[in-house]
Amino acid sequence: MMRTHRCGDLRPEHAGREVTLCGWVHSRRDHGGVTFIDLRDTAGIVQVVFSVDIDAGAHAAAQGLRSEYCVQVVGRVRERPAGTVNERIPTGAVEVAASSLRVLSEAETPPFQIDSPHEVDESLRLRYRYLDLRRARLQDNLRLRHAIIAAIRRFFDAEGFVEVETPMLMRATPEGARDYLVPSRLHPGCFYALPQSPQTFKQLLMVAGLDRYYQIARCMRDEDLRADRQPEFTQLDVEMSFVDVEDVLDVTERCFKYVWREVMGVELGPFLRLPYAESVERFGTDKPDVRFGVELQDLGPVFAASEAKVLRSALEDGGAVKAITLPGRGSASRKELDALVDEAKRLGAGGLVWAAVTQEGLRCPLERHLGEDEKRALVQRAGASEGDLVLIVADRSRARVDKVLGALRTRLAERYGLIPETDPSDPAHWRFVWIVDFPWFEYNEDAGRWDFSHHPFTGVVEETLDNLESDPGKVLSKAYDITLNGWELASGSIRIHDRELQKRVFAALGISSDEAEERFGFLLDAFRYGVPPHGGIAPGIDRIVALAAGETNIREVIAFPKTQSAQDLMTGAPSPVDAEQLEVLHLRTTVPLEETEA
């Protein structure tokens, strides 16, 4: 074997033992007749000493070492002299006195320091991702990812689930985002779609009588990217037969508790549960961060008859006037307040009214339009105290008010340090929330039609089914999300298992019988043959690992991620292909080659 031990595993109990180590030169320090290197491998770092007193040949060879050289070292483990122990690393009580050195491969000067504590430009990191991955932080993240996935598999194996792989080349189906399409060489003019999720296949597995399925599934969606999105991602895909909402919530919650206990050493308490309408009303979003207050407050009763026309008119038009209160920000400067107004406008608000609660009274741009009773009612209903700042948004669209204030609430909590600092070992650090009772439909004003909120196979709450054709906005779905600290971790639902109901839903979405047969005929055909009630959920692995690792971007827990513009800077993907390849696939591009190369 090329090595007897890993660098990071050596401890005082190994003192006196001859070892063979392999790794990378993390750093090198010369002290006359003695040269020190920190040798790094996947287990950690250990100090290696080259001295003319130990072995003159090895010492001479060490003079040519540079950062990131890959080497093999033979030497004897010894305890470090008193006063030289390095408490910052696990191997800090020992060092290796080298008697032999072999350079396995040399390295050019890296484009950035692997051992640098300073952040490196992300585009440079992604261009040289194989070097970036040598850093301890990213290696720890990937090991955490492995541990979480391994724990998930143990849990579902013990629960009687069967892991089944579903196709990567499938038929395009509407699931809320654009498909990545793959042209077929054998069927000119036809395309496969890469799966946005295994949705239809896992339903067919239930039709097939598999009963309990799971998969660590790769999924692809051609959508705009942000910190918690990538064009290709990994999800835990779960489906169960003969279940209703509570059954799926139960097994999912127990899975998360098992993973946190086994991997994080944390015993989670009960998960909070909020109906969708309450979540939006209180937090302005269906993925609330409940670690802090600053909830949205309805000021409609305060301004229903106000002289402040901008507020009263929003209510008269069927809209809303709501506010959030920032504790201790009442002394904000005019420049800071103007910046908050601009920020609200960028989020979609027509404007923002601020009100500072001071010792002298209320300071507000609309102050002269407000009576003393209104001012007192505003402060009381907003839950404000002296020194606080109230931010008010009014709009004829209640949804827009909630969305703007919800986004401001999250942003300003981070900016002003309103989120309590808790230790990840404390269960209170992890605030899981179930969101339930989603509306089945959401109205698309641009297209002038009703769209699905989750996907077109979502089950319907029976008590609201009579509204399907007459008033789709009142139809509730058997859908549910799970969120953690403001991130959506999973979506799921009980599915429609009745063929006629599925056709009614398609009709409500404006999908004709012919179109439904064309796009979903295989699923509707399967529904002719005894379909069990079934449902499932699909937690996002990347988001789970990112939160567990304390990262704010899922790129930090994916080995080879894409950029914000969906590019792979390391391999150069996506890239143009030559005309011969396109011809074989019966394709022609409308973009000139020189433009694609630019």
Long-range contacts of 263-267 (CB under 8 A, 24+ apart): 263/144, 263/147, 263/148, 263/151, 263/548, 264/424, 264/425, 264/548, 265/425, 266/424, 266/425, 266/426, 266/427, 266/429, 266/430, 267/427
End-to-end CA distance of the chain: 48
Considering the domain boundaries, does residue 195 fall inside one?
no
Q: What is the pLDDT of residues 501-510, one digit of tens each?
A: 988 888 888 8
Calculate ∠ Cα 128-130-136, nearest 5°.
110
Cβ-contact 305, 321 below 8 angstroms: no
Residue where a domain stops, chosen among 105, 120, 138: 105
Query: According to the model, what pLDDT value does residue 594 have?
Result: 64
Mean pLDDT in residue range 237-262: 98
Q: What is the pLDDT of residues 386-437, one digit of tens each?
A: 999 999 999 999 999 999 999 999 999 999 999 999 999 999 999 999 999 9
> How many angstroms separate the CA atoms of 403 and 405, rounded?
6
Tokens of 280: 């939006």
Q: Is the pLDDT confidence value at 115 over 80?
A: no
CATH assignment at residue 311: 3.30.1360.30
Mean pLDDT in residue range 502-525: 86
Considering the domain boundaries, does residue 431 fall inside one?
no
pTM, two decimal places? 0.92
Considering the domain boundaries, does residue 422 fall inside one?
no
Residue where a domain stops, chosen among 396, 415, 434: 415
Query: According to the model, what pLDDT value does residue 597 have?
Result: 53
Considering the domain boundaries, does residue 121 fall inside one?
no
Q: What is the pLDDT of residues 87-114, one digit of tens each?
A: 999 999 999 999 999 999 999 999 999 8
> Element (H or E) spanning 302, and its range?
helix 300-303
What is the C-alpha R_g of the chain? 30
Cβ-contact 395, 401 below 8 angstroms: yes
**The total number of structural domains that make up the chain:** 2
In the three-class reduction of DSSP (H, G, I as helix; E, B as strand; rest coil), residue 454 is classed as coil
Strands (DSSP E) contained in 242-308 are: 272-275, 297-298
Considering the domain boundaries, does residue 66 fall inside one?
yes
Residue where a domain stops, chosen among 63, 83, 105: 105
Side chain identity at residue 470, one-letter code? S
Average confidence score pLDDT of the chain: 93
Please report how the helices 541-549 and 136-158 are oriented relative to each other, as an axis angle in degrees rounded to 10.
130
Question: Which residues does 37 contact at the CB level (< 8 Å), separation at least 6?
Answer: 25, 26, 27, 28, 29, 47, 48, 50, 62, 65
Tokens of 274: 């909020």
Cβ-contact 289, 574 below 8 angstroms: no
Kindly list the distances between the CA atom of residue 284 and the CA atoms of 271, 389, 409, in Å, as whole numbers in the listed order. 20, 18, 8
Considering the domain boundaries, does residue 267 fall inside one?
no
Q: Which of 96, 128, 93 is nearest to 110 (CA)?
A: 128
Considering the domain boundaries, does residue 353 fall inside one?
yes
**Which domain does 58 fall in, by range?**
7-105
Considering the domain boundaries, does residue 138 fall inside one?
no
- Where residue 251 falls (left for φ over 0; alpha for ψ -120 to 50; beta otherwise) is alpha
Query: According to the model, what pLDDT value does residue 598 have?
Result: 43
CATH assignment at residue 12: 2.40.50.140
Q: What is the pLDDT of residues 123-162, one digit of tens each?
A: 999 999 999 999 999 999 999 999 999 999 999 999 999 9
